[in-house]
Every structure is written in C-alpha cells, then in structure tokens.
Amino acid sequence: MDKTLEIYWKLYNEIISNEVMIHKSQNLLRNFEEEFIDGPILELGCGQSNFLVEFSKTGKEIFAIDNEEFQLNFLKKRIESYTGDAFEKLHLLNITIPEKEIPQEIFSLVIASDFLHFFSIEDSKYIISQITSRTQKGSLIYVRVHSKSHSYSNSQNKNVHNYFKHFFTEDDLNNLFDEKYFDRMLFSNTVQDIRPKFEREFETKWTEKVLDEYKIFNQRQRQAHLDENIKEMSVGYIQCVYRRK
C-alpha cells in the first residue's frame, strides 16, 4: 500500500472510534438483518470494516480478508473492544485477491465494499464466480463500487487508472450478478459533489500528517497542498444488495 494511504488508515484508526465509524457509515445491510441466514460472514478487502465491527455482535463467525497485516490487526482490536472479549470466531486472512482463492466455506453474507474497482472487469467476474460457488439460497451479497460518475473516471492521469482499474455502470453489475443466480434486492446510484464537514476535516488532518511525514515544513508549500485538499470533486458510487437464488 502507498505510504500516504497507510498514513490515512493509521490516522483513521487513531481518531475514529468504533461508535463514530458505525454512526457515520451508511450500512444498507442493516435493513436486511432479519433475513440473514445461518452461516459465516465474509468480507473482501475488509480494512477496518464498519460492517464487520457492527455485525460482530450477531455472534456469527467472521472471515476477514485483506492483504495488509496492519489493517487486519486494527480490525481485530476494533472487534475485540466492540464485543468486549477476545472474539474467537474471527478469522483474519492475509490474502491477495484474486491470486489466492477465497476460503471454501458457504457464507450467509459476503461484503465487497470499495473493493472491486481495484480490479479489471475480467478479474471482478472471476471474483464473483467464486462468490457464487461459496453462497447458497438466501445468502446476501453487498457491493459498493466507484461509478462512471466519479470525477476520476475521466482523469487523464494514467496512475489513477492503474490504481482504480474499473468504474462501474449499472449494466456492469447486472452482467456480473447473473439473474440466473441472484435477485437484486437494492440498487443505489449516488453522486456526492461536496464532502460533509466531518470528511473535510479528517482529510485536512490527513494532509497535515502526510506533509509532516515527508518533512514539508515550508508554509507556502504546505498551504498549496492544503488548498488542493479544499477542492471538491464528484464521488460517484453504486451500492447493491443481492440475494442468492
């Protein structure tokens, strides 16, 4: 992971408590909690997942996949402090998807939040085919991905597209989640043009930390970076909930 992103997630862990993280995150799965079937929960690219922390109280077994050890350690600490005990049902898997296979369990819930846009559409197809074979009738799948309405989608900067490999449309998701296997329960297409104050303030703190880390102490240079942070862009994202047929 890029150093600046590592600084982001460490700062996130330092100043955003579990309660604030859950309160500030939109959890569309909460509406479907009554229909969770038996079986473990899986999250791909879990980071410090608000979903896994919140749902740790369901008592379900959790499989948390990320390829950054520090993120998995932060998640473990978050879950333990949220449930109030050493959570025995947590499996932390330091795996790089799609190089390594997803575990062979049958999951009741699979979460891929802000994850699939790091892959080509072909890799996403492969990942979804694994999800299809590791779910059963009634299993739920939540997906959140950057959409074509995201400002970065039209960026001329090659690095942006090396990092975010695909910006999704509704058709892309319809093709990935074949109606032969999945019912779409919810589709939401959002564009956020102005960040809430909470996010703006967090990102200013992040920029300051990055400037400190790279020893940029010249006031004019610092201000130029902070001014850049004030500029808004459109964050376009699609969220879907599917139910396995």
Chain residues that interact with ligand SAM, rule: CB under 6 A: 1, 45-47, 49, 65-68, 71, 96-97, 113-115, 118
Looking at this protein, which amino acid is placed at residue 80? E
CB of 222 to ligand SAM, least distance (A): 26
And the tokens for 117?
A: 């846009």
Handedness of CA 176, 179, 185, 191 (dihedral sign): positive
- Whichever of 66 and 172 has its CB closer to ligand SAM, that residue is 66
- Whichever of 114 and 179 has its CB closer to ligand SAM, that residue is 114
CB of 26 to ligand SAM, least distance (A): 10
- Whichever of 107 and 115 has its CB closer to ligand SAM, that residue is 115
138: left (phi over 0), alpha (psi -120 to 50) or beta: left
- Whichever of 85 and 99 has its CB closer to ligand SAM, that residue is 99
CB of 148 to ligand SAM, least distance (A): 18
* Range list of H helices, the chain: 3-15, 18-24, 50-55, 69-83, 121-133, 158-163, 170-176, 197-213, 219-230
- Whichever of 3 and 179 has its CB closer to ligand SAM, that residue is 3
Measured N-to-C along each axis, helices 219-230 and 197-213 cross at an angle, to the nearest 10 degrees, of 150
What Rg do the C-alpha atoms of the chain give, in angstroms? Answer: 19
How many Cα atoms sit within 13 Å of 217 on the Cβ side? 1
Evaluate whether 43 touches 61 at the Cβ level (below 8 Å). Answer: no
d(CA 240, CA 136): 18
Q: How many CB atoms lie within 10 A of CB 129?
A: 14
How far CA 129 is from CA of 118, 126, 132, 134, 177, in Å, comes to: 17, 5, 5, 9, 9
CB of 93 to ligand SAM, least distance (A): 9
CB of 5 to ligand SAM, least distance (A): 8
- Whichever of 47 and 236 has its CB closer to ligand SAM, that residue is 47
- Whichever of 70 and 222 has its CB closer to ligand SAM, that residue is 70
CB of 137 to ligand SAM, least distance (A): 26
CB of 67 to ligand SAM, least distance (A): 4
